[in-house]
Chains A and B, each alone.
Chain A
């Protein structure tokens, strides 16, 4: 890499001569292959007619871990969920900030915060960490989804602080393949249950069996089927989705 050893890549507050901020680019690397917590996994989000589905490929780094106890998808408010790829601890930090933002909005206006408002606030928050040498950027790509007065909406925030709305979003290591799969779906026509099955299938598909450790599928949803609450996908539906995903994978191969 041309950046190494030039001295222009040691601080977020330094541009390289060609106008790049290498520390932010390195943060993007952390999203894909973070060394410490082995969380080089994929997260996806689906925005369908009646709600949002979030799903993550949670790599299991030890068989001593208690299944389902270590959750990767976080709840920000009754109607908001967040999934990250990258440094796990950064994801928790961001979620705490998001909860504060959402609570502040509630205190000011006595109504649930719009998803876009939270995405906007978090984007600005993350951007600040790209300005100074005294901090490092966030090593995470974030999917935030929820249902507000305008229906379901879904956003992705990158380590640079930029955010975009999506119908189907994928972040982390397997995002390219996941995006290709998401593009094949008629997302706006799917029911929430159908979307859960598709999400499971995509996560199983992008998981690289040959290189990676075993993984656990974690899914959450928010929308009409959940009374507008962001909650984990119930166990029976989750295992049905897993079964179908495995079957589809065998057909695929």
Chain B
């Protein structure tokens, strides 16, 4: 059973010049829980929604550190993400080895994009089923990129990927002009509000289901002087959650336990 004749193989163009397998891979990204990225003049940040399969299971990791100055948030097939993030780490290390230079973030993103392109053109492979938001800081300042399985990468002021990311995007498009001059706290607040848009009506962000990734000088809420990429999880993000404006729905119940998370689960 196929939707059409031209969609079972990544080496076949449809008569309209489309690559259906690539388009389906983009759908795989939308199966994953959402991630949001934002950029100011001084910081780049990531926020992601973690899922767990049940009360006894831990939450699926959504963010990975690549190097001191680069980190990613993923949506889609986690195993594909691990392959690509290992590759990114190798690239980062080889730049350090050969030039004693932190790899420029755009080149890191282009490297995985070029890798992904091959999987859209040659037989016997499938396109990667994962999208990334990549943040990092290099000579030219803080950056935010999106990588997608089609082999494209773009630099954005702010972006979201994953399930119901369109809602987050709508929020970001409404507010992005103010991000450049935001403090880190305000930027995270905007990020949390955008991420919250991707939740179902009765859900809310809490310390268990939210990850925050940061590059840039630490916030007052952090007990660190670290300016390199770090992931905040658990109790450390409570102060940031507290800055959020509560949803205006009066019946906003406190965040339910993880077991009640009914988000679509991906087939792994």
Contact = CB atoms under 8 A, between A and B. Distances in A.
Q: Which of A5, A32, A64, A65 has most chain B Cβ within 10 Å? A: A64
A90 interface: yes
A92 to B, nearest CB: 6
B16 A10 contact: no
A93 B114 contact: yes
Interface in B1-24: 5-6, 9-19, 22-23
Interface string A176-207: 00000000000000000000000000000000
Given A3-B15, A27-B17, A36 B23 contact: yes
Interface in B191-211: none
A33 to B, nearest CB: 6
A32 B18 CA distance: 11
Interface residues of A, number: 44
B120 interface: yes
Interface residues of B, number: 40
Contacts of A63: 173, 176
Nearest to A93: B117
A89 B116 contact: yes
Interface in B40-84: none
A207 B262 CA distance: 45
A57 B15 CA distance: 25
Contacts of A11: 11-12
Contacts of B176: 63-64
12 contacts: A5-B5, A10-B12, A12-B11, A36-B18, A36-B26, A64-B172, A65-B154, A66-B155, A89-B114, A92-B117, A139-B17, A139-B19
Interface of B: 5-6, 9-19, 22-23, 26, 110, 113-114, 116-118, 120-124, 150-152, 154-159, 169, 172-173, 176
